[in-house]
Amino acid sequence: MGYIDIGMNHIDACKKAGCTFVKFQLWNADKLYRNTPLYKTAKKLELKTDMAEILFEYGRKIGVDVFFSIFDYSYVDFCENLGVKYYKIAARSVHDKELIKSVAITDKTTFISFSKQYPCNIEKTLKLFTDPIPLYTISKYPPEISDFVFKDFNKIISLGGGYSNHYPNIHTCKTIMDYKPSFIEVHVALDKICKNSPDIVCSINFKELEELVKYE
């Protein structure tokens, strides 16, 4: 099964589960993973812009907003030409001044993950954006329950934010829904078929996603 087929199947499954947003990751493995143990895998799984465009258009065709986490400012022009409505900036990128500036000037809604592993001035960062949505996350794949810091999470909630999940289950997400987060982001894998993905250890399956969407 090719990457496009896998991507389209994920979009279909997300829509079936009741999701209206689907996010993929745009990275340059030579920049993000060079000299790391994940380099060969990341290079193989790297989403090329031509494939990203197909997935974006497919999502639009079936009524799903597809957007991207970007780890390099050079992808902003591609996303703008494509017509994305949203951006995602990972916690590891909050100190990338070129990326932050390039996304901020688009005036698009931007989801920004914050974690204690990459400390920064959250309020100062949010002020750079027209419509920022902060997300509390734990930058470990996967985290331990003891890694969750409610003080930090509550701060994000007080700023109108949400939660980005890296636990390979939905138990934490269900608990967090009692705090009325603005958004919950989860990693999902269709029947765990993407077994070589760096994110597989923090992914839930689509049965769990459906359960989470229906949970009140």
Question: Could you tell me the pLDDT band of residue 193, with boundaries at 50, 70 and 90?
Answer: low
Rounding to the nearest 10 degrees, give the CA dihedral for residues 9, 12, 16, 18.
120
pLDDT, average across residues 86-93? 97
pLDDT, average across residues 36-64? 93
- What fold characterizes domain 3-214? TIM Barrel (3.20.20)
* pTM over 0.85, yes/no: yes
Question: Could you tell me the pLDDT band of residue 2, with boundaries at 50, 70 and 90?
Answer: very low
Domain boundaries, the chain: 3-214
Residues 138, 147 contacting (CB under 8 angstroms): yes
Whether pLDDT at 51 is above 60: yes
pLDDT, average across residues 116-134? 97
CB neighbours of residue 194 within 10 Å: 18
Rounded CA-CA distance 64/114 in Å is 26
